[in-house]
Structure 1
Amino acid sequence: MASLFEPLVTALTALFGREPTLNEMILIPMLPVFISAFLLEWLYTYRKTGDAALSKGKPFWLSEVLANFSLGAGYYVSGALMNLLFVAALFTVVWEHRLFTIPMNLGTIVLAFFVQELCYYWYHRTAHRVRWFWSQHVSHHTGENMNMSTAARQSILNGIVGTWMFYLPAVLIGFSPELILGLLGANLAFQWFVHTEAVHKFHPWVEWWINTPSNHRVHHGRNLQYIDKNYGGVIMLYDHLFGTYEPEQEKVEYGTPRQIKSHNWFVMNLHEFVDMFRDAMAPGPLGERLKHFWKPPSWEREGHIPVHTWTVERHPEPVEK
C-alpha cells in the first residue's frame, strides 16, 4: 500500500520541499475530481437554464466563479507556506508532549472522526462568532451564488489568525497529527460536494444526520433565521446537541449581512481584517476598542461608526450587544 502512494509523496515532497501532510495528500490529488464535479454541475444547470446561468446574479456568474477559484489558489499556496514555516512543526511539538498515545485501529479512527468533527464544529462556530476568526472566514461567505466552486472560496489568512489551534487539543490528548489532519482533509473534501443547488433534499433522516447540500445552503444564507446555523462539516450531530441546527425552508439568500461588493483578490481576502484593525484603532476607551477583536462581527461600539474601507451593502442582521 505504501508503494502505491510513493510517487505521490515524492512529487509533493519535490513541490513543497518537505514531506506532505496527510491533509495535503488528500486534498491536492482531489483537485481533478473537484473540477470534474464542478463541470458536471455546470453542464446540468446549463441544460436546464441555458446561457442565463453564466450571467450576472445567476448560479454560475463567470466573475464570481473566477473569484472563487482565485481565492482557492491563494488558499492552497498560503496553506503550504504556513505548514512549511511553522504549523507542521507546532503539531510535532504538541505530539511530543501528548498526554496519552492512542493506538490507530478501526475503533480509534471512528472515535477520532467524531473528535475531529467536534474540533471543526467549534472552529467553525467561533469563526462566525468571534471577529478575529471571522476576518479569515468571511471570504468564504461573501459569494452571492452557490455552486461547487464556492467551496474553493477560502482565505490566505488561515494560518495567520490561528485556525490550526482548534485541532491541537485532539493531538495533545493522543491522536496523531497525521490522523487528525487527514480526517480534516477528508472533511474539507466532502464539503466541496455540498456547495450546490443541483441537489435538493434527501430523506429527513439523512438531512438530520448529514451535512447535505440543503443543510449547507442554510449555512450560507443571510436570511435572519439562517445566520450562524449548521456548522457541521460531515455530520450535523453537534448542531443538534448545541442548538444551532436549522432546516432549509424559505429560499436562501446567499452572502453576508455586510456584503463586500468586490471581486478584487486582495479586497476579498483582507477587507474584514483591515476594517477590524481600523475599528480597533479608532478613538475611544482602550477596553472598548479591543472588543472589536473578540466580539461578534456585527457588534458595534457605542459612539463609533464601523469602518468600511471598501464598498459594502448592508442587509438586516441580528443586533449584538
Structure 2
Amino acid sequence: MQIPEIPNLIHYAIPFFALTVILEIILTVKVKLEDYEFKDARASILMGLGNVAIGLFTKFFILGIFLFLYKFRFFTLPFAGWSWIILLFAEDFCYYWFHRISHESRFFWASHVVHHSSQKYNLSTALRQTWSGSFYTFIFWLPLILIGFHPIMVLVQMSISLIYQYWIHTEFINKMPKWFEALFNTPSHHRVHHATNPQYLDRNHAGIFIIWDKIFGTFEPEAEKPIYGLVTNIDTYNPIKIAFLEWKNMLKDFYQSKTSIKNKLKYLIKPPGWRHDGTSVLSSDLRKKWEEKKQI
C-alpha cells in the first residue's frame, strides 16, 4: 500500500491560531465584554508552545508504537474516502472515551487538568495543552491500529479533531443552528464541559460529535451561566506549576497516605478528589450534588 505524504496539520494551523487569538482580543475590548486576561492567555499560549515542542519527540515515539502494532492488524483499510469517513467517527469515539476517563481517573486527569486550569474561556484556552499526556494517553487509539487503519491516517485524524475543537473555545458564539447543535460539539456544549457548576461537572466530553454524550448519558445542555476553572483552582500563571502541580499532589497522596497498598493505588485510578477515609477536597454541599448527579 502506497502511503501518501501528509504534513503535520497542527504546525500549519499555528499561524491561524495566533491570528484568531489576536482578533478575539480586539473584539473583546471593542464590545467591552470584560478585560482580556493577558497573563492567563500568555500562560495558555506557553502551555501550547510547550505541547508542540514536546510533540516533536512524542510523535515519533507514538508513530513507532503504532507501526509496530500495525503488523498485528486484523484488516488492512486503504487510504480511500470511505475509510476516512469511518475513521472520522471511529477516532471520535475513541476520543470520547479518552476524554471521559481523563475526568474519571486521576492518573489521566493529572495531565488533562492543565486544559481546565484557566478560569477564563476564550480561544487561548484551547491552546492550554498538557506537557505529559502525549506520553501515555495514545493508548486509547490503539484499537484503531488493530482494526487496520494505517498509523498515519490515525495521527492525521487526531490532528483534525484537535483543530476542530479550537473554535469551540469561545463565548462570542451563543448557539449554532439546531441541527448543528444536535449533531456536533459546539461552543455552547463545550462551555458546559469547562464549567464547575454542579450540574455541569464531567459532562459533554465530545470531540467533534456530541452524539456520544447523548448515547452514553453524559450530555448536559447549557442553561445557567458557566463558572470556569477547577473545583479548587490553582491560581497560578507559572507554566511549570500548571503542567505538573496535579502530578505532585497525586504522588504526594499516594506516598503519604497511611493506608493499604490497595487504597494507595486508588489514588491513581479513582476520580479527582477521592480520599480513602471518605472525605473529599470538594465542599460538602458540592460533593452531595456531585454524588447525586453520579447516580442519575
- Give me the TM-score of the superposition, normalised by structure 1: 0.84
CA distances 1:274-304 after superposition (whole Å, capped 9, x unpaired) = 1111101122111111100100112121078
Select the residue among 59, 69, 72 that pairs with 1:83. 59
Is 2:200 aligned against 1:237?
no
Equivalent residue for 1:92, pick from 53, 62, 67 = 67
Matched, 1:67 2:43: yes
Equivalent position SS for 1:124: helix
Instruction: In structure 2, give the amino acid aligned to 1:66.
Output: R
Q: 1:104 deviation in Å?
A: 2.5
Q: How does 1:264-275 map to 2 (within 5 A)?
A: 264-275=238-249
Match of 2:84, SS?
helix
- Structure 1 residues 217 and 272, CA gap change in structure 2 (3 angstroms): same
Q: What CA distance in whole angstroms lies between the structure 1 residues aligned with 2:62 and 2:24?
A: 35
Equivalent residues in 2 for 1:84-233, closer than 5 Å: 84=60, 86-160=61-135, 162-233=136-207
Deviations 1:250-279 (A, max 9, x none): 000001112111111111000111111110
What is the deviation of 1:314?
11
Contact 1:258 1:314 in 2 (8 A): no
Alpha carbons 1:141, 1:220 under 8 Å: kept = yes
Residue 83 of structure 1, CA deviation: 2.5
Query: What do residues 75-106 of structure 1 show as CA deviations (whole Å, max 9, x unaligned)?
Result: 1111212223x222101101122111012221
Contact persistence 2:103–2:271 (CA under 8 A): yes
Q: The residue matched to 2:103 in structure 1 has which SS?
A: helix
Percent of pairs identical after alignment? Answer: 32
Q: Secondary structure at the match of 2:277?
A: coil
Query: Residues 33-48 of structure 1: matches in 2 within 5 Å?
Result: 33-48=16-31
Preserved CA contact (<8 Å) 1:67 1:265: yes
Q: CA deviation at 1:202?
A: 1.6
Q: In structure 1, give the amino acid aligned to 2:78.
A: P
User: 1:97-126 CA distances to partner (integer Å, 9 max, x unpaired)?
Assistant: 211101222112111110000010000001
In structure 1, C-alpha distance between the alignment counterparts of 2:94 and 2:70, rounded to whole Å: 17
- For residues 246 and 316 of structure 1, the distance between their equivalents in structure 2, rounded to whole angstroms, comes to 17
Contact 1:261 1:313 in 2 (8 A): no
Tell me if structure 2 keeps the 8 A contact 1:139–1:155.
Answer: yes
How far residue 315 of structure 1 moved from its aligned partner, in angstroms, is 9.2
Which residue in the other structure is 2:259 paired with? 284
Determine the C-alpha separation between the residues in 2 that align with 1:284 and 1:300: 10
What secondary structure is seen at the aligned counterpart in 1 of 2:195? coil
Unaligned runs of 5+ in 1: 10-21, 54-59, 307-311
Q: Provide the secondary structure at the position in 1 that maps to 2:233.
A: strand
Number of paired residues?
287
What is the TM-score when the length of structure 2 is the normalising length? 0.91
Structure 2: runs of 5+ lacking an equivalent: none
In structure 2, relative to structure 1, the CA distance for the partners of 1:244 and 1:303 (3 Å cut) is: closer
Provide the rounded CA distance (Å) in 2 between the counterparts of 1:130 and 1:210: 26
Query: What amino acid is the match of 1:79?
Result: G
Task: Decide whether the 8 Å contact of 1:260 with 1:313 is kept in 2.
Answer: no
CA, structure 1 residues 234+304, in 2 after alignment: closer, same or farther (shift >3 Å)?
closer
Contact 1:147 1:196 survives alignment (8 Å)? yes
Q: 1:292, 1:301 → 2: CA distance?
A: 8
Question: Is the contact made by 2:189 and 2:220 (CA closer than 8 Å) also made in structure 1?
Answer: yes
Q: What is residue 29 of structure 1 aligned with on the other side?
A: 12
1:225-267 alpha-carbon deviations (Å, 9 max, x no partner):
1111111111101111101111111000001112111111111
The corresponding residue for 2:286 is 316
Q: Once the 2 structures are TM-superposed, how far is the Cα of residue 203 of structure 1 from its aligned partner?
A: 2.2
Mapped partners of 2:285, 2:10: distance in 1: 35
Name the CA shift for 1:314/1:175 in 2 (closer, same or farther; >3 Å). Answer: farther
